[in-house]
Structures are given as C-alpha cells and as structure tokens.
Amino acid sequence: MRTITLGASGLSVPAIVVGCMRINKLAKAEAERFVTFALEKGACFFDHADIYGAGDGETRFAQAIGMNPRIREAIQIQSKCGIRPGIGFDFSKAHILSSVEASLKRLKTDYLDVLLLHRPDALMEGEEVAGAFTLLHQSGKVRHFGVSNQKPLQIQLLQKYVTQPLIINQLQLSITNATMISQGLHVNMMEDAAIDRDGSVLDFCRLKDITIQTWSPLQYGVFEGVFIGSPKFPLLNSKIEELARKYQVSPTTIALAWILRHPARMQPVTGTTQVERLEDCLKATDITLSREEWYELYLAAGNSLP
C-alpha cells in the first residue's frame, strides 16, 4: 500500500482510508472478514465517527478486529465528534470530552490517532475546543487533530485558539462532486462553476499542509447513489470503462485513481462494506492516470472548462 505523510505531522499513513460508516450493518463474521482483508492489504487506517450506527460502528469494529495492544499498535484509528443527531452541532468542551471517552470505550482503546470535528458548529467557542483538545492531548487520549467540512476561515479561526496543528480537513469529493476543483478553473467568470462555495479550501489546504480526506468518492449528490454504472452518467461511465479496460482494473479503481492523481495528495475515504469492492478501491494506488485522462474524466462527468 502506497503511503502519504499526514498533513505536517510527519505521520506516515496508507494513501487510502477505510471508512467504517456502514460497518455496523455487517454481521460479526462478515465484519471480521472485512477488517482482516483490509489489514492483509496494508489498509490499516480506519475512519469512524461517534454517530456511525449511533456508536455501533465503533463497537462492531473493535469486536471484528479483536482489539488488543498488539493490533492497536499496527493500526491507525480516526474518529469524529460534534454532531448531535436531533439537536444540531456541539463543539463544547463537555461534549467533545464525553464523546471521545465514549468512542475510546467502544473502540476498546486508550487513544485515537486522530480526532476530527465532524461539521461546523455555529455556536463554536474557540476556548471551549482548545480546552478539550489540550486535555485530550496531554492525557494521551488523542494524538492528532483535524476538522471536517470546514472552510479556510473556519479552520484559521479555530487554529487561533487551539495549540495543536489541525492536520486534516475531510471534505466531499468525487468526479461528479468536484466544485472545489472546478471553481479554481473558472476564476472570476460569469458561469455557476465559478461560484466559490468553500473559500478556496483546496488551495488553502495545500498551502497549509492540511491533508484533504475525500468522503463519498463514488457518490453523486449527497448519498443519492453511486455514479459507477448509473444511467445518469452515460458519458462518464463510457470513459471510465474505456480506462478500466486499458489499465485492466475495475471502474471503481479508475474512480479512486482520479482522486489520487491530484497533486494535493488527497486521501480517499472508502465506504464499501464488501471485500471485493474494497480491493478494487485499494488497487487505485497502483495506477497513475495521465493528465489527459484526468481531464477527460472530469469533463465526461459534466464538469466544464472555461
């Protein structure tokens, strides 16, 4: 498995993260097969959140991997907090601390490698987050920190308070959800593609050495479906299939390779619960699409150039 350096941390991690948002839907034996396979392939960085399966995702993962000190040393675990279903968002010190304690218990571990704040909280108070992060860091319960779905100014505002570097921003990106890329191509133009929806987060993260992890690498819309094989994207699928034949891989591999080809060294977060599909995703690290192929896929998905 190819590795990347996570943000400015110096931490070497697999180029692809195994997302565990749906792992609770697997029966125990299936979940064991899934995580065992991931480890065999060197995919030892796992993404969780306190809310996945209302906590059952973390519980199922710890059971499936048979968490013990030897295994814990061989893997990296990232979890998230800050979403309170039915209420909104909560970056208060008390909520962050209690969420991490509960995640650690479910994951049967003493520490998280990375903690992300899941979605911006309109009522965020920097001192509260800083208080929580300092306690978590000093106690060894969290080694690194980051955010998810945040704009550059939100990250800078938070960084004004917290002393630990924010090394990750987890954002939605796929060939069909590529506004963070297209707005950088259509600068200062009249068309909708020029609309700056995220404060130029891609350039900002590159500038600040913040690793962008990309969620929903295969979905269009927000969980509307997978574009691979979808009749909604005939041109894209035809191009993907052509490249899949050329590189002798599956269409899924090509879709992930498109994200990996970007020089920002983004880290795709997979969402599949199937071993065969996970293998297809991981194979993307063996392929480097050409510049021409990258742009052809971008255009085939309905994106445009100025």
Ligand X SMILES: NC(=O)c1ccc[n+]([C@@H]2O[C@H](COP(=O)([O-])OP(=O)(O)OC[C@H]3O[C@@H](n4cnc5c(N)ncnc54)[C@H](OP(=O)(O)O)[C@@H]3O)[C@@H](O)[C@H]2O)c1
Q: Which residues of the shown chain bind ligand X in the complex (CB under 6 A)?
A: 19-22, 47, 118, 148-149, 170, 215-219, 226, 228, 252, 269-274, 277
Which structure tokens are listed for 233? 């994207």
User: Residue 131 or 166: which CB sits closer to ligand X?
Assistant: 166
- Considering beta carbons, is residue 118 or 186 the nearer one to ligand X? 118
Distances, alpha carbon 94 to alpha carbons 12, 115, 133, in Å: 31, 15, 11
Among 52, 220, 247, 298, the one annotated catalytic: 52
Q: Residue ranges of the alpha helices (H) in 150-303?
A: 152-161, 179-185, 201-207, 234-247, 251-260, 275-282, 291-300
Backbone torsions φ then ψ of 249, nearest 5 degrees: -135, 180
Query: What's the full length of the chain, in residues?
Result: 306
Closer residue to ligand X, CB minimum distance, 183 or 273: 273
Q: How far is the CB of 223 from ligand X (least distance, A)?
A: 6
Amino acid found at 36 = T
Contact 78, 17 (CB under 8 A): yes
> Measured between alpha carbons, how far is 125 from 127 in angstroms, rounded to an integer?
6
Q: Closest separation between CB of residue 259 and ligand X, Å?
A: 11
Active site annotation includes 298: no
Minimum CB–partner distance for residue 76 and ligand X (Å): 14
Q: Which is nearer to ligand X, 11 or 83 (CB)?
A: 83
> How is residue 2 written in tokens?
């190819």
- Please report which residue ranges of the chain form alpha helices under DSSP H: 28-40, 56-65, 69-74, 93-107, 126-138, 152-161, 179-185, 201-207, 234-247, 251-260, 275-282, 291-300
The minimum distance between CB 134 and ligand X, in angstroms, equals 24
281 with 270: CB under 8 angstroms?
yes
Cβ-based nearer residue to ligand X, 17 or 131: 17
Amino acid at residue number 26? L
Q: Closest approach of Cβ 146 to ligand X, in Å?
A: 10
Catalytic residues: 52
